[in-house]
Amino acid sequence: MSVRISEYATRSREAIRDRPEVRTAVTGATVAFDEKRRRAYGEVDADSWRRWAEGVKNHLLTHLDDYLAEAEAQLEANGADVHWARDADEARQIVLALAARHSARSVVKGKSMLTEEVELNPALERAGIEVYETDLGEYILQLLDEPPSHIVGPAIHKTLEQVQHLFADRLETDPGGDPDELARAARDVLRDAFINADMGITGGNFLVAETGTVALIENEGNIRLTTSLPRVHVALVGIEKLLPRMSDLAGFLQLTARAATGQPIGCFVSLVQGPASAPGDDGPEEVHVVLVDNGRTDVLLHEHAWEALRCVRCGACLNTCPVYRQTGGHAYGWVYSGPIGSVLDPGLLGLHEAMPLPFASSLCGACFDACPVRIPIPELLLSWREEAQQKGLTPWKERAALAGLATAATRPPLYRAAARIGTRLGATRAARKLPMLSDWSNDRDLPRPSPHTFRQLWRQGIK
């Protein structure tokens, strides 16, 4: 997925003004997800769970080298092959080489944000391989040639009517078909794809170092088929997705499902531990785990941003975010959108590439309350903003205005005079021509100052 973050202002405006159905669909779905998450948190001691999960991930991230070595050794002991990808290109080359070795012509995929991040599908298609996304939402988007707009619900920005129209056109379903009929039509296509696929590609929600187990959470059963039916299973896993022990996984499976969808646990949890042990046994003949860095080590070394690596990709921060709800994910311009994208993307891509995402937030703090691993997203946004100011990535007028405010605010008489003049000026028609106030007054009436300031009232005596 190409990076279009710098177009955020334009793309968010377009989403709001020109595609009102996106806002309706996204707000409706995220409000419902968020309510389920709140209820599911309320059923358990969510605060303690979240603190525990934060601690486990912090321990993992501060001992990542040890756990990566342990995971590799365990996976190999289980008969899986381990590959290391420094960046997106290496990740693609590893998968392409595996596909070539097995003369793969057709691939089925489970939903994976990491494969979006490394732009795997276009590379496979260029190599002449047929790629089937098998998650229903991803399948819809593949037909439309659109990237996912949400970590958990990739097609969350689509309405039922849009899918009915698409499926009637492409799969010859009844234009008024209900969601069950639409899912059945997709299933008919995908069943054949599963049976004919030479290779199954998935991501990985977790990788347990102790046992070399890739854990995958889903609700549709397509990942179960992707990991078990084709002869070869390739799992791309970000290096931060490790968990130390199997007992940690028990907690994370429950917490992640509650955070993501409000479920006590996903409908399907697949634990992939290696290939079939003997011919004729269940499971693929080969299992390959590709451990992908692609900027994660840089994030880990960053003074503040490393905390974002605790992320389990549940999407809870997107669901609760009032900003995300207005525009959906595409406006953000890259794979990871919403609050977590705004703190992770600057780390993975570099801050310059990710501007202005750290500013695409009102700092309302709802994301922190929702986050199952307590990533302090508002604080991370602020530290990215600070870095942006220091590197001169923000408008100089903005920096000058705020420096001026600080100067005035430490000189009370100057401050009082400036504030009074500024307020009165801000209420006049001329204000509509001032840089910042003109932006304000495009969508809002100008604020009306009080007839007397509080200072004047105080001097007169308050009765």
Partner 1 sequence: MKVALFVTCLADHYFAEAAADAVRLLRHLGCEVTFPDAQTCCGQPAYNAGMSREAVRMADHTMEVFADCEAVVLPSGSCATMVKKFYPRLMEEADRAVQAAALADRTFELAEFIMRRLGVTRLGDGLAGRRVALHQGCHALRELRLETEPAVLLEGAGAEVVPWEAAEECCGFGGLFSVKMTDVSAALADRKLDSLPRVDWVVSGDGGCILQLDGRGRARGDGVEFVHLATALWRGVDGWAGEAMAERDSGGRHGRSNGQAGRRLE
Contact set for partner 1, span 403-462 (CB under 8 A) = 403, 405-406, 408-410, 412, 415-416, 419-420, 423, 436-437, 439-440, 442-458, 462
Shortest Å, Cβ 433 to partner 1: 14
Residue 24 touching partner 1 (CB under 8 A)? no
Task: Give the other-Cβ count within 10 Å of 428's Cβ.
Answer: 12
Interacting positions 315-344 with partner 1 (CB under 8 A): 322-323, 325-327
Name which of 195 and 409 has its Cβ closer to partner 1.
409
Name which of 55 and 322 has its Cβ closer to partner 1.
322
Stretch that binds partner 1, among 93-101, 168-176, 339-347, 400-408 (CB under 8 A): 400-408
Residue 303 touching partner 1 (CB under 8 A)? no
Name which of 35 and 169 has its Cβ closer to partner 1.
35
Residue 304 touching partner 1 (CB under 8 A)? no
Shortest Å, Cβ 390 to partner 1: 8
Q: How far is CA 282 from CA 156, 195, 407, in A?
A: 34, 15, 72
Shortest Å, Cβ 138 to partner 1: 27
Would you say 108 and 193 are in contact if contact means Cβ atoms under 8 Å apart?
A: yes
Shortest Å, Cβ 94 to partner 1: 39
Task: Give the other-Cβ count within 10 Å of 146's Cβ.
Answer: 14
Interacting positions 366-385 with partner 1 (CB under 8 A): 366, 368-369, 382-385
Q: What's the CA gap between 75 and 274, in Å, rounded?
A: 7
Residue 172 touching partner 1 (CB under 8 A)? no
**401 CB-near residues (< 8 Å, 6+ apart):** 436
Q: How far is CA 301 from CA 20, 308, 343, 388, 417, in A?
A: 41, 12, 15, 18, 46
Q: What's the CA gap between 271 and 283, in Å, rounded?
A: 11
Residue 17 touching partner 1 (CB under 8 A)? yes
Exposure letters 253-264 (e unless 16+ CB within 10 A, then b): bbbbbbbbbbbe
Residue 6 touching partner 1 (CB under 8 A)? no
Interacting positions 29-68 with partner 1 (CB under 8 A): 31
Residue from 32, 44, 267, 363 that binds partner 1 (CB under 8 A)? 363
Residue 7 touching partner 1 (CB under 8 A)? no
Would you say 377 and 28 are in contact if contact means Cβ atoms under 8 Å apart?
A: no
Residue 235's φ and ψ, nearest 5 degrees, are -110, 125
Q: What's the CA gap between 68 and 72, in Å, rounded?
A: 6
Shortest Å, Cβ 326 to partner 1: 4
Q: For partner 1, how many residues bind (rule: CB under 8 A)?
A: 72
Structure tokens at 110: 């489970």
Residue from 97, 195, 398, 433 that binds partner 1 (CB under 8 A)? 398
The helix-helix angle for 46-62 and 246-261 (nearest 10°) equals 130
Q: What's the CA gap between 84 and 95, in Å, rounded?
A: 11
Beta strands in 93-178 (DSSP E): 106-109, 130-133
Name which of 199 and 373 has its Cβ closer to partner 1.
373
Name which of 172 and 443 has its Cβ closer to partner 1.
443
Stretch that binds partner 1, among 80-88, 215-223, 283-291, 387-395 (CB under 8 A): 387-395
Stretch that binds partner 1, among 183-191, 200-208, 218-226, 398-406 (CB under 8 A): 398-406
Residue from 4, 6, 16, 298 that binds partner 1 (CB under 8 A)? 16
3-state secondary structure of 16: helix
Residue 121 touching partner 1 (CB under 8 A)? no
Residue from 79, 251, 283, 356 that binds partner 1 (CB under 8 A)? 356
DSSP state at residue 447:
P
Shortest Å, Cβ 264 to partner 1: 25
Would you say 434 and 427 are in contact if contact means Cβ atoms under 8 Å apart?
A: no
Residue from 233, 361, 372, 373 that binds partner 1 (CB under 8 A)? 361
Exposure letters 266-296 (e unless 16+ CB within 10 A, then b): beebbebbbbbeeeeeebbebbbbbbbbbbb
Name which of 232 and 360 has its Cβ closer to partner 1.
360
Shortest Å, Cβ 431 to partner 1: 12
Residue from 126, 221, 386, 397 that binds partner 1 (CB under 8 A)? 386
Name which of 84 and 359 has its Cβ closer to partner 1.
359
Query: For the residues of 387-410, what is the DSSP string, one character each?
Result: HHHHTT-S-HHHHHHHHHHHHHHT
First to last CA, the chain: 64
Nearest residue to 313 (alpha-carbon basis) of 331, 292, 336: 336
Shortest Å, Cβ 12 to partner 1: 5
Interacting positions 69-98 with partner 1 (CB under 8 A): none
Q: What's the CA gap between 373 and 256, in Å, rounded?
A: 9
Residue from 9, 69, 160, 250 that binds partner 1 (CB under 8 A)? 9
